[in-house]
Structure 1
């Protein structure tokens, strides 16, 4: 059969692996509308912490919020949000912030020298911030920022410049726990981790500076990561953040509900060669991608599908007419190192309480969902 037959001119493309909301909307990709959560985030505390596993749509969520709040995207509001929930029910705060977005996962450098990496990433980001908002900041801002050394002092300078100009800042930090995750997958580094997150560590100093900024022009923060480990260590210095990771009202903010997956499959079944019913496909996907539940109160009601895995599956199915041979995509496998470390820890500290042995022998395990814990307690089986 001619593969050209399968190129359907008006079929929405799948945003597999995409994190840029503007491109998804501009080029008519399939988008699962999560914007109903925006007013709920506004009603929540101003300093919002949210933990989810990898590939769950955290970066895209941040990108949606950036486009919604940025003063520079005001004239694109209808194109981006017009037919979405928030386009029909906008809030008073839309497009009213200078947006500062830091992505710690992009920071390079050896573990023992990540200060250099943090400084470099922040310096580039801060300078870019000064350039794009030049007409809203005092004229000398960029020049003066260049005279200041290091991420901590530069952040200090920047939020004060915004304050002088009467501007409000919205700070986004993606993968705030990137350093600690890297350190935790290397068993030797635990003490170095402790040095950085306790006492006078640089990372802690940075978060203390963020805290200071919240008394000034940093009006809102949205911070995400994958592990509740650092939280405890860093946030005693940053005790203004509220952790919403386990709250029922935000359980469905990232990831797809079964209803959303069915809707997507139904849409593609009308314009692509499907050899299964939607029910049959759900049955194939469910054991692999479903059953995430992050709020105890939602248990037994709505479980979530990993959004990235669903897109991976549907894309493969449309391209090849069958389920992918590898149900787990390669990108997820990079976390195996960290799992190995935890397995070693499990063995080392288990004695009679090995989590893995229990899993093997009875097929399931129960534990308590923990909001956060210091790294040194990682050896507690419940954590």
Structure 2
């Protein structure tokens, strides 16, 4: 049985030690054959570094590593190109001085491999000198590969002034790639985000962005066929549809792909479904934006975004939807064309991200992670049993547990989306089938929840102190929302009303939808 490449950093290690490897070299051939300068944005831990390792070994002429792969017989192995690698993946850079040191250190290491000593001091000047001298001394054009090109900026988004200074420093470095175009054979930059060309790639107008290019949609990640064929030895006892629901679903306008980190850890950890990828990152900055902008969390089920919104951002213009997409918490569900413009529907890629992200947001919104955990099992059992009275008591106690001082500092008490977000996050964190803004021919249901043959149709209202309750349930009946689910299970109609002054539930009414189950 082949080994899994858990923790392996380079393509050379994988190919020389009998590890499982998904062959992406047909796509590498196309890149090298049809163009010269590329940019690719993908979420963290999606195989970007391994992709660059593979490209580096191909241009360096390491034919022995490509035995059995597409490139073995589709590459000019007689030509060896000097390869310059720049990698910002390791550590956190918190000053422009440290950025300059990191770049200079890496360029010196690249130069030493060719017995070259750099004489200049500025990072951009050093890169310029290295490219020129490599080309002159070796007689071949140079390959430049930059991994996590944007990480110094992303690590400092909460300090906009510093992030801007780091961005400007990187812009000076990357501008060399345009100036030395004649000496370059191939350029590839990868990262999580896509900054606008004006802000970071000023003048680098020959850089081809393949992030949403259908031809390269699967260049990182595993297709379902990859999983079935390459990991066939590990699939005994695995429900492939369940595996797909948990870890597949990332879409860049082509065939959807699995997160490779999840797949490898799933097989390595006795085939347990866990939040492997999610737990390696900290979305605290994104969660803070959700709070600050009072974003209705159920809306994450269906986010509408323009081509411009998805394509780039800058330090001074951070759109939540852009960040969620580029960091991998949302993915493309559909693309629509209106005239000459493209628009996109975004949603969660899979069960792992939906459950884990909403659970994290719930802890932030409620400021009571301990209470949430205590009530989760009881809530699941109440839903499964159709016991709405217990459900009411759980949510009432939960809202009562949130410190009043938190409400004083956050203007959310009169915000209907806040209360709906709490319910939504609770249900999705339990892994339930939840539909927010569920469309019917008579309007939109605020929320539909399905569990073990039961369907809950829920409407939320925020009311003034002392106002009559009952309008939420009345709206469900009046609009005949339950008709959509006729014959699909036991249907419960649930109207929930909140007092924005008392910050808790004042109306929680329910009934079974007779004759519709």
Tell me if both proteins adopt one fold, taking TM over 0.5 as the criterion.
yes
- Match of residue 45 from structure 2: 55
Q: Superposed, which structure 2 residues align to 1:253-272 within 5 Å?
A: 253-269=219-235
Q: Superposed, which structure 2 residues align to 1:1-383 within 5 Å?
A: 11-70=1-60, 74=61, 76-77=62-63, 79-90=64-75, 92=76, 95-106=79-90, 108-110=92-94, 113=95, 115-134=96-115, 141-142=116-117, 145=118, 147-165=119-137, 166-184=139-157, 186=158, 189-197=159-167, 201-215=168-182, 217-229=183-195, 233-269=199-235, 274=236, 276=237, 278=238, 280=239, 282-295=240-253, 298=254, 302-317=255-270, 322-324=271-273, 327-329=274-276, 332-347=279-294, 354=295, 356-359=297-300, 363-368=301-306, 370-379=310-319
Structure having the larger proportion of residues in helix: 1
- Match of residue 7 from structure 1: none
Which of the two has higher C-alpha Rg? 2
Provide the rounded CA distance (Å) in 1 between the counterparts of 2:77 and 2:212.
26
SS at the partner of 1:358?
helix
C-alpha change, 1:93 and 1:243, in structure 2 (3 Å) is: farther
Structure 1 spans left out of the alignment, 5+ residues: 1-10, 135-140, 348-353
SS at the partner of 2:190?
strand
Contact kept? 1:177, 1:230, Cα under 8 Å: no
Contact kept? 2:85, 2:110, Cα under 8 Å: no
SS at the partner of 2:143?
strand
Shift of 1:174: 0.2
SS at the partner of 1:148?
coil
Structure 2 spans left out of the alignment, 5+ residues: 324-517
SS at the partner of 2:186?
strand
1:45-71 Cα deviation digits (max 9, x unpaired): 31100000111110000000111101x
Structure having the larger proportion of residues in strand: 2
Contact kept? 2:217, 2:252, Cα under 8 Å: yes
Provide the rounded CA distance (Å) in 2 between the counterparts of 1:183 and 1:108.
9
The aligned length equals 320
TM score, norm. by length of structure 1: 0.76
Greater RCO structure (CA 8 Å; 6+ sep): 1
Provide the rounded CA distance (Å) in 1 between the counterparts of 2:113 and 2:315.
38
Provide the rounded CA distance (Å) in 2 between the counterparts of 1:235 and 1:61.
22
Provide the rounded CA distance (Å) in 2 between the counterparts of 1:83 and 1:25.
10
Shift of 1:204: 1.7
Provide the rounded CA distance (Å) in 2 between the counterparts of 1:66 and 1:265.
25
